[in-house]
Amino acid sequence: MCAKDIIDLVEEKDFEGLTAAELEAQHPADAAETIEGLDISDQVKFVKQLPIKDAAESIAEMDDNDQKALIQHLNRGLAARIVERMAPDDATDLLVGLDDDLRQALLKRVPEEERAELKTLLTFDPDTAGGVMNTEVVILDQNLDADQAISKLREEVEDKEIPYYAYLTDSKDRLVGVVSLRDLLLAKRGGPLKELVKTQNLITVGYNVDKENVAHLIAHYNLLALPVVDFGNRLLGVVTVDDVIDIIHEEASEDMQTMVGAGADETTDSPVAFSVKKRIPWLILNVVNSAIAAYVVHLFDQEIATMAILAALMQIVSNQAGNTGQQALAVMIRQLAMEKFDRKKAWYAVFREIKIGILNSMVISVLVFICIAFMTHDYALATCMAVALIIDMLVGSLSGASIPLILKEIGRDPAQASSIFLTTITDSIGFWSFLGLAGIFVI
Amino acid sequence: MCAKDIIDLVEEKDFEGLTAAELEAQHPADAAETIEGLDISDQVKFVKQLPIKDAAESIAEMDDNDQKALIQHLNRGLAARIVERMAPDDATDLLVGLDDDLRQALLKRVPEEERAELKTLLTFDPDTAGGVMNTEVVILDQNLDADQAISKLREEVEDKEIPYYAYLTDSKDRLVGVVSLRDLLLAKRGGPLKELVKTQNLITVGYNVDKENVAHLIAHYNLLALPVVDFGNRLLGVVTVDDVIDIIHEEASEDMQTMVGAGADETTDSPVAFSVKKRIPWLILNVVNSAIAAYVVHLFDQEIATMAILAALMQIVSNQAGNTGQQALAVMIRQLAMEKFDRKKAWYAVFREIKIGILNSMVISVLVFICIAFMTHDYALATCMAVALIIDMLVGSLSGASIPLILKEIGRDPAQASSIFLTTITDSIGFWSFLGLAGIFVI
């Protein structure tokens, strides 16, 4: 099956005559999309027909909102059996999204052992390493040799998620090292595993580390899995690279959406009410901010009344500076998203944006000067436009580049509403500089 | 070493008294950042002192711009030896970024065998599967049994990147299946490997598939590596999940930056001239577009001259609609980035945004009506504001949600300059509706 086919398959949304057997034959990730495309009643119908294992794997791959809706519509006995069969981390993600009553009801129906594990996982903050970790890890005694380890793996591996790594612990369950299957295959026969990891620079995270930092670490070191430990350095679980891909996607959505005051976790599946609740506060902030810009214009009622064309031209200045600022803003937010914050490098980047702003503003202002002069033959007016453009585009570059850094420095999300703050500044300064100059030199 | 330490280490930028030995002891990813923090002369000095292998691994982890600069400053003999020791995919990425002369000069110095491979890799489009694939794969004869395979791996694996998977080929080198090390460990002894993959639904990509689609496939199916094949279904290499993380980061930067007319591949390390060249065309488009909005205002010079406050208030309408539209825009672009394009679901999302727009515009317009009425006691004016806000915020929601889809439908990048087009629409409609209404009902 080549990519093209798969992409078609993934896009395939025509379920006429779909049978449970066909659904069962699909990869869980595809089955999930197929199920999401059905009406809730059909979803329930098909899930009932699927083997529990397939149902669990497919539902684990569904979007949060669809997943929640489906579970709510299943009878609790079936829902509980499905939760029981999911990987503990997937089951926890699902349970976190449910209302307390339903979550408790399902947990009650899960066998003692699984329930205990899920309850533990539910105590971790979902935005931390503990909240995203997978607890199905292969642990080996550091005193085994490679061959013993391999045969132990052969017994153990059956019911675990693909272990790329096995973890070595000491007599007190403390993590002493990690060996990849590759290491085991390469290991000279005989020696105990602890020899393999003697010089190893073991990378771990505490369970309470923010998941975005976990993603940074895994990406930075090209790891397939990162062990999560408690304060006693005991192994709690691992965060795997496939979880990291989801985290990176979430991060990117957060930045892009919070930048303009949409909800960090909004998707096109979010309920309308949810999105409205997330966006209204920022829209109100935006009204207040644009009122500031409006007030600046109001200060020049006199000039505008005398020369109404100013009201038309001031748009061009503020728009241009706003766009210039957003270009700087976007590049800065992405830097902060991809690399750990480095103050020196960050402020160096601000100077870079100012240089860009100087060059761009000169090009644009010359262009605009020529057009205005050519159309109006009012050279004073054309000059005011050009000067105001240079001033405001520079302000735009400086603000666009520094707003995310300032937000970061005061411990806020660097993207949050940054575009709204930027526009307020570029509009106000743009109107003030252009109308002010025009008032003095043109009228 | 816990995450906190590593993050500090990663951020550590004080190189007083750094020694080559310390650099050598660092993880290549950290060594790369350390090197990037040095002046070019020190970079050269330290790289000369490093063992070729460590130099190659560290330089492979550096940012493109820094990497290119460093290689240009090394003498060609050393540079060639470093390229030779890099993983072929990393070496290719590096060579692609160099000027033709230097690339040819380095290739000449690379031993025949490696040169042939690099030349082949260089023929692939860097934005396709072939351009990002890793050619160091473990290939097994499908007729081996698990134990034979494991002992073969033990010999072969030495000089390959960590193989999570081994690939099975037939007598004509055609790919017939993939087995994970886990499968090998679990396999009942005796049977040939081809038995393991008989019922396998093998997922592969053609070498010419866009790398973003490759990333989607790996993320969708939670793969660690995806085999890349030619039209004869012969195995060319694999794309590994760590490359996918970079691709997803690039994609997110592209969307956020092209949305406002910055360069898709701009970073805070890009040369100023590069960024200016990328942004100027869009700034010029923005001038033209804001000239359209300015012209709309110009049509109402009469009204504005009579009642200058209109010029101040029209800002609030256009700003509000612009922000509303950008919220829809951001959510839509992210949907298109994370899921394969699904026409039905996409247009459903537009309706969702319109519903949100209706609710938000009603809240905001009531709020604004009250403020204006309270401050000016001019109820006609307040009403015009409220109505114009509802009209323009709806236009904003509709445009913001549909612009990316329209761009996509006509085969363009859904994000490209979308914010610029959006603002033109919301500004023009906002000024026109507000000033138009005010002209009729207020003056």
* H-run or E-run covering A71: helix A64-73
Contact B35, B70 (CB under 8 A): yes
- Band of residue B161 on the pLDDT scale cut at 50, 70, 90: low
Contact A182, B224 (CB under 8 A): no
Question: Is the pLDDT assigned to residue B144 strictly greater than 70?
Answer: yes
Higher local confidence (pLDDT), A220 or A186? A220
Question: Is the pLDDT assigned to residue B154 strictly greater than 90?
Answer: no
Q: How distant is the Cα of A241 from the closest Cα of chain B, in angstroms? A: 8
* CB atoms near residue B91 (< 10 Å): 24
Please write the tens of the pLDDT for every residue from A133-156.
Answer: 988 888 888 888 888 887 787 777
B235 phi and psi angles, rounded to 5 deg? -70, 125
pLDDT (average), residues B400-409: 94
Question: Is the pLDDT assigned to residue B8 strictly greater than 80?
Answer: no
A276 interface with B at CB cutoff 8 Å: yes
A278 phi and psi angles, rounded to 5 deg? -70, -40
Task: Give B25-88 as a DSSP string.
Answer: HS-HHHHHHHHHTS-HHHHHHHHHHS-HHHHHHHHHTS-HHHHHHHHHHS-HHHHHHHHHHS-H
Residue of B nearest to A334 (CA): B253
Looking at beta carbons, which residues of chain A come within 8 Å of B310? 311
What is the model's pLDDT at position B180? Answer: 82
Domain B272-441, what fold? Answer: Tetracycline Repressor; domain 2 (1.10.357)
Q: How distant is the Cα of B62 from the closest Cα of chain A, in angstroms? A: 11
- Band of residue A15 on the pLDDT scale cut at 50, 70, 90: low
Strands B165-169 and B138-141, by their bridges, are: parallel
What is the model's pLDDT at position B139? Answer: 87
| Terminal C-alpha separation, chain B | 72
Higher local confidence (pLDDT), A198 or A376? A376
CB-based contact A266 B331, cutoff 8 Å: yes
Tell me what the pLDDT averaged over chain A comes to: 88
pLDDT (average), residues A328-343: 86
Q: For residue A128, give the 3-state DSSP assignment.
A: strand
Question: Is the pLDDT assigned to residue A162 strictly greater than 80?
Answer: no
Strand partners, B437: none
Sign (positive or negative) of CA dihedral B45, B50, B53, B55? negative
Residue reference for tokens 């942004």: B279
Please write the tens of the pLDDT for every residue from A286-319.
Answer: 999 999 999 999 999 999 999 999 999 999 999 9
Looking at beta carbons, which residues of chain A come within 8 Å of B4? 206, 209
Please write the tens of the pLDDT for every residue from B366-391.
Answer: 999 999 999 999 999 999 999 999 99
What is the model's pLDDT at position A65? Answer: 85
In angstroms, the CA A374 to CA B351 distance is 45
Contact B136, B160 (CB under 8 A): yes
Strands B138-141 and B175-180, by their bridges, are: unpaired
In angstroms, the CA B361 to CA A280 distance is 9
Both structure tokens of A405: 């850094």
Looking at beta carbons, which residues of chain B come within 8 Å of A427? 315, 319
* CB atoms near residue A258 (< 10 Å): 24
- Band of residue A185 on the pLDDT scale cut at 50, 70, 90: confident
With a pLDDT cut of 70, the percent of chain A lying above it is 94
Domain spans of chain A?
Answer: 3-123, 138-240, 272-441
**B373 CA to centre of own chain:** 48
Distances (CA, A) of A122 to A69, B52, B122, B158, B215: 20, 48, 49, 42, 31
Of B214, B276, B356, the CB nearest to A275: B356
ipTM over 0.90: no
Question: Is the pLDDT assigned to residue A7 strictly greater than 60?
Answer: no
Residue type, B33: E
CB-based contact A245 B249, cutoff 8 Å: no
In angstroms, the CA B189 to CA A347 distance is 61
CATH of the domain spanning A3-123, picked from 1.25.60.10, 3.20.20.70, 3.40.50.1100, 3.40.1440.60 = 1.25.60.10
Residue numbers of B between 180 and 199 with CB closer than 8 Å to A: 180-182, 185-186
B373 interface with A at CB cutoff 8 Å: no
Residue reference for tokens 């500044």: A425
Buried b (16+ CB within 10 A) or exposed e, B57-74: bbbbbbbeebbbebbeeb
Query: ∠ CA(A353), CA(A250), CA(B201), 5° rounding?
Result: 125
Contact B308, A302 (CB under 8 A): yes
Both structure tokens of B317: 């309408």
Looking at beta carbons, which residues of chain A come within 8 Å of B1? 201-204
DSSP, res A238: E
- Band of residue A356 on the pLDDT scale cut at 50, 70, 90: very high
Buried b (16+ CB within 10 A) or exposed e, B93-116: bbbeebeeebbeebbeebeeebbe
Question: Is the pLDDT assigned to residue A13 strictly greater than 50?
Answer: no
Distances (CA, A) of A216 to A224, B26, B268, B343: 13, 17, 18, 34
Please write the tens of the pLDDT for every residue from B311-326.
Answer: 999 999 999 999 999 9
B209 interface with A at CB cutoff 8 Å: yes
Q: How distant is the Cα of A221 from the closest Cα of chain B, in angstroms? A: 6
Q: How distant is the Cα of A240 from the closest Cα of chain B, in angstroms? A: 10
* H-run or E-run covering A275: helix A272-298
CB-based contact B267 A153, cutoff 8 Å: no
Question: Is the pLDDT assigned to residue B188 strictly greater than 70?
Answer: no
Q: Which of A220, A231, A431 to mutate to test the interface with B (most CBs of B within 10 A)?
A: A220
Helices A211-220 and A241-259 cross at an angle (nearest 10°) of 120
In angstroms, the CA B177 to CA B227 distance is 10
- Band of residue B435 on the pLDDT scale cut at 50, 70, 90: very high
In angstroms, the CA A212 to CA A219 distance is 11
Q: How distant is the Cα of A117 from the closest Cα of chain B, in angstroms? A: 24
Lowest mean pLDDT among A92-96, A337-341, B428-432: A337-341
Lowest mean pLDDT among B129-143, B275-289, B332-346: B332-346
Sign (positive or negative) of CA dihedral A127, A128, A129, A134? negative
Half-sphere exposure in the Cβ direction for A172 (13 Å, CA): 5
A244 interface with B at CB cutoff 8 Å: yes
pLDDT (average), residues A31-40: 89
Q: How distant is the Cα of B108 from the closest Cα of chain A, in angstroms? A: 31
Question: Is the pLDDT assigned to residue B7 strictly greater than 50?
Answer: no
Distances (CA, A) of B346 to A246, A268, B426: 21, 8, 22
Q: How distant is the Cα of A96 from the closest Cα of chain B, in angstroms? A: 22
Task: Give A5-58 as a DSSP string.
Answer: HHHHHHH----TT--HHHHHHS-HHHHHHHHHTS-HHHHHHHHHHS-HHHHHHH
What is the model's pLDDT at position A355? Answer: 96
Looking at beta carbons, which residues of chain A come within 8 Å of B7? 213, 216-217, 340
- Band of residue A163 on the pLDDT scale cut at 50, 70, 90: low
Query: ∠ CA(A37), CA(A41), CA(A47), 5° rounding?
Result: 75
Of A13, A205, A248, the CB nearest to B248: A248
Lowest mean pLDDT among A178-182, A333-337, B411-415: A178-182
Question: Is the pLDDT assigned to residue B1 strictly greater than 60?
Answer: no
- Band of residue B353 on the pLDDT scale cut at 50, 70, 90: very high
Q: For residue A280, give the 3-state DSSP assignment.
A: helix
In angstroms, the CA A434 to CA A416 distance is 29
Q: What is the pTM of this model?
A: 0.85
A264 interface with B at CB cutoff 8 Å: no
Question: Is the pLDDT assigned to residue A8 strictly greater than 90?
Answer: no
In angstroms, the CA A247 to CA A201 distance is 25
What is the CATH code of the structural domain delimited by B138-240?
Answer: 3.10.580.10
Q: How many residues does chain A have?
A: 443
Residue of A nearest to B62 (CA): A220
In angstroms, the CA A282 to CA B254 distance is 25
Residue numbers of B between 402 and 421 with CB closer than 8 Å to A: 419-420
